[in-house]
Amino acid sequence: MWQQLLTGIIQQDQRALARSISYVENEVPGYENFLSQLPAGNASITGITGPPGAGKSTLVDALIHEWVSKEKKVGVLCVDPSSPFNLGAVLGDRIRMSEWYNHPNVFIRSLATRGALGGLHPHIIDITALMQATGFDHIIVETVGVGQSEIEIAGLADTTVVVVVPEAGDEVQTMKAGLMEIADIFVVNKSDRPEADLFVKNLRMMLAPAFYQTKTEIPVIKTVATHKTGIPELANAIEQHQSATHHSERKDWLLTERAWKLIQQYRMNDIDKELLKEKIAALRKKEAFNLFGFIQSYTK
């Protein structure tokens, strides 16, 4: 079974990829060994995040369109519960996106967030590696920028694109600070709104200190995703960022963080947090609770 899936993935067979993802999600015995045999893929991972309503899905749709028109293969992972890729979406959006489901150069997969509050899917690193091995040119991970997931996406993505919409000009500061810190590229979507120019100007001013710190200017790109305006510029900025960082120390650190998280995940795999909590709750009812005594049976 695993050998067949591996062959399929090397042949860039999307059905083999889909099945592999399901097996990994369900931790079918042998999946860890299977993952270790994957060919290394070259595709960089582009994280797209931002507040609800910023138009992330429409932007992803436009990016797919841009890259597919250049004969590129695009894989999309969606971990945004409010996204049209998932349930609970407005019908119009879902229909629009569904055109890609049968396109041979496009692969879209939604992940149910599972377990940890606000965190990314526990197997998201594995799943992006599967997509890299399947030979996509571009991999997009879309996630809504709330809770902790936007910090985690910055640890997964080679390029983090933060999507915002222009609000009344002087309210640029209402943007969640966490989003400012992780952006490699800013997209101001819906930039045909009258207040867009002032918003972009304020955003650039806010980014100036970061510029002095990192010595790399953070691009701010204006788009109207529904009209595909600004999309070639965005695709270009993403590609530039990725070719500039591919051999960099930052990429070494990204891979180290991924390795660290994977090792941690495997090593904690035998513990169910819910059960752990029940044990602790039961013990606390009986006796004075010593955290360090309690964990001894897990650390030997």
Chain residues that interact with its own copies, rule: CB under 8 A: 32, 35-40, 125-126, 129, 147-148, 151, 171, 173-174, 176-178, 181, 249, 252-253, 255-256, 258-260, 262-264, 266-268, 271, 273, 276-277, 280-281, 284, 288-296, 298-299
Q: Which is nearer to its own copies, 11 or 173 (CB)?
A: 173
Q: How far is the CB of 11 from its own copies (least distance, A)?
A: 18
| Residue 293: how many other CB atoms lie within 10 Å | 10
Q: Which is nearer to its own copies, 36 or 69 (CB)?
A: 36
Q: How far is the CB of 57 from its own copies (least distance, A)?
A: 22
H or E element in which residue 193 lies: none
Q: How far is the CB of 20 from its own copies (least distance, A)?
A: 12
Q: Which is nearer to its own copies, 28 or 271 (CB)?
A: 271
Distance CA(56)–CA(24), nearest Å, equals 27
Q: How far is the CB of 94 from its own copies (least distance, A)?
A: 28
Please, where are the H alpha helices in 91-176? 91-98, 124-133, 149-156
Distance CA(258)–CA(155), nearest Å, equals 7
Backbone angles phi, psi at 290, to 5 degrees: -105, 110
Distance CA(268)–CA(198), nearest Å, equals 48
DSSP letter string over 266-287?
Answer: HHTTT--HHHHHHHHHHHHHHS
Give the C-alpha distances (Å, rounded to integers) separating 72 from 127, 235, 268.
20, 12, 38
Q: How far is the CB of 176 from its own copies (least distance, A)?
A: 4
Distance CA(68)–CA(62), nearest Å, equals 10
Q: How far is the CB of 53 from its own copies (least distance, A)?
A: 15
Q: Which is nearer to its own copies, 97 or 172 (CB)?
A: 172
Q: Which is nearer to its own copies, 108 or 120 (CB)?
A: 120
Q: What three-state secondary structure class fits 100?
A: helix
Q: Which is nearer to its own copies, 71 or 249 (CB)?
A: 249
Distance CA(2)–CA(152), nearest Å, equals 30
Q: Which is nearer to its own copies, 181 or 217 (CB)?
A: 181
- Contact (Cβ atoms closer than 8 angstroms) between residue 188 and residue 51: no
End-to-end CA distance of the chain: 35
Q: Which is nearer to its own copies, 211 or 298 (CB)?
A: 298
Q: How far is the CB of 202 from its own copies (least distance, A)?
A: 12
- Contact (Cβ atoms closer than 8 angstroms) between residue 174 and residue 167: yes
Q: How far is the CB of 110 from its own copies (least distance, A)?
A: 23
CA-closest candidate to residue 142, choices 181, 105, 97, 205: 97
